[in-house]
Amino acid sequence: MGCDRERLFLAIQLPESIRHNLLRLREEMSGCRWVPAKNLHLTLRFLGDCDYNKRARLSDALQSVRARELKLGLNKLGVFSKRGQLSVLWLGAEQVDERLVDLKVAIDEALFQVGFDKDHRPYKAHVTLARLRHVKRGDIESYIRNKSETVKESFPVRFFSLMRSLFSEGAVRYEEVCRYPLDG
């Protein structure tokens, strides 16, 4: 392996059936860019550009993570804003499974042990559905009102994934590098 850098993150991937179900949440909305279905995931930890050394430490740490299988509910829509501007339409859980929090804590602790910084941002478990840079607030508010009752997905999570983010031909693509099983 060379010394090249890779942009990495840890995520729970959504099963194909859920990604398929979520397609019905899409509708034309001026200024809204929907995330391609195959890219939908829930980030556990963004790692950024990692060189060979960092990847080796990462791999050791992730092998040591112990956490239980969990159930991921996806039943709540919301938006994030940045500096007063809408940025993201997200799908998350009304009530987050405690085991998801335990998994996040176990990952952060294992990474800290091998020299990664603490994750300073408060963790908000979510799946990014769309980028909203040019959407009117009223449009997204009425979209959320209309759709909220229709999202009731949930699925068992038996592993988490180390993902690589690639950019080519003007598009972002995610590739699974490795899977880490959770305890049953």
Nearest residue (CB) to ligand 2AM, 21 versus 87? 87
User: Is there binding between residue 78 and ligand 2AM (CB under 6 A)?
Assistant: no
**What's the closest the beta carbon of residue 80 comes to ligand 2AM, in angstroms?**
7
Q: Given 20, 41, 120, 134, which residue is catalytic?
A: 41
CA distance 169 to 172: 8
Q: Which of residues 10-29 bind ligand 2AM (CB under 6 A)?
A: none
Nearest residue (CB) to ligand 2AM, 68 versus 79? 79
Contact residue for ligand 2AM among 43, 96, 144, 178 (CB under 6 A): 43
User: Does the annotation mark 126 as catalytic?
Assistant: yes
Number of amino acids touching ligand 2AM (CB under 6 A): 6
User: Is there binding between residue 46 and ligand 2AM (CB under 6 A)?
Assistant: yes
Q: How many residues does the chain have?
A: 184
User: Is there binding between residue 88 and ligand 2AM (CB under 6 A)?
Assistant: yes
**Whose structure tokens read 């949930």?**
154
Contact residue for ligand 2AM among 21, 57, 165, 180 (CB under 6 A): 165
In the complex, which residues of this chain contact ligand 2AM (CB under 6 A)? 9, 43, 46, 88, 128, 165
Return the active site residues.
41, 126
